[in-house]
Amino acid sequence: MKKRVAVFISGRGSNFHSIIEHPKNVGCHYEVVLCVTNNLAALGLQYANDNGIPVEVYSEDTIHQILNNYKVELVALAGFMKILTPEFCNQWEGKILNIHPSLLPNYSGLNTHKRVLENNEKEHGLSIHFVDAGVDTGPIIFQTRVNIEDIENEEVLANLILFYENWFYPLILDVVAEGRIYLKEGRVYNCEKMLENPYTFIVD
């Protein structure tokens, strides 16, 4: 049985798009059954429209019920610009993933690419993590680490990181949907093995 996924978006939706496309090409353990947004002008809603995926508007009071109505089993946050309540995060513990454009715990929050360049960092990347009640703090499953010494500007950097985001988010969502990767007592496991460090893809 495929896991029923809801994707939460607020904007462009490139990760939403890649999450929708992935199951079309390969055997996959999830299906996208719902898009949730706090922004009805979000560009990414076109992908819901194109693929016949229903859209619901986010509200703190009804979100749990909405997800239950669609029998959602997993949530993927993909550029969702609202902070979820601690109650919701706890209720859905181990069932919400987020993607963040930095090497967490470094550069949580907004404008990561700009701040990374301002600080002349040599390395940058992305993190895919389980969501807990904090902001960008949950247990990390996977990171892409990119050598950025030759990157000339923010736009190039943002596009480079986004390329890897779009590539890896569906893959990680897939292994979580499969049940291979899961959260137990605040730690990430692969089958029976606890991860000491996030899985890492290095781009040098």
Contact flag: residue 100 with ligand GRF (CB under 6 A): yes
Q: Would you say 28 or 136 has its CB closer to ligand GRF?
A: 136
Q: Which residue is nearest to ligand GRF (CB)?
A: 79
Tell me how far apart the alpha carbons of residues 160 and 112 are, in angstroms, rounded to a whole number. Answer: 13
Q: Which two tokens stand for residue 127?
A: 């993190």
**Contact positions with ligand GRF (CB under 6 A) in 60-79:** 78-79
Among the options 17, 100, 113, 129, which is catalytic? 100
Tell me how far apart the alpha carbons of residues 132 and 115 are, in angstroms, rounded to a whole number. Answer: 24
Is 22 annotated as catalytic? no
We find the least distance from the C-beta atom of residue 194 to ligand GRF, in angstroms, to be 26
Backbone phi and psi for residue 178, each to the nearest 5 degrees, phi listed first: -65, -25
Among 8, 33, 44, 151, binds ligand GRF (CB under 6 A): 44
Query: Which of 23-62 are b and which e, b meaning 16 or more Cβ less than 10 Å from the residue's Cβ?
Result: beeeebbbebbbbbbebeebebbebbeeeebeebebeeee
Q: Which two tokens stand for residue 7?
A: 């994707």
We find the least distance from the C-beta atom of residue 175 to ligand GRF, in angstroms, to be 19
Q: Would you say 12 or 82 has its CB closer to ligand GRF?
A: 12
Instruction: Give catalytic residue positions.
Output: 100
Residues that bind ligand GRF (CB under 6 A): 9, 11-16, 44, 78-79, 99-101, 162, 165
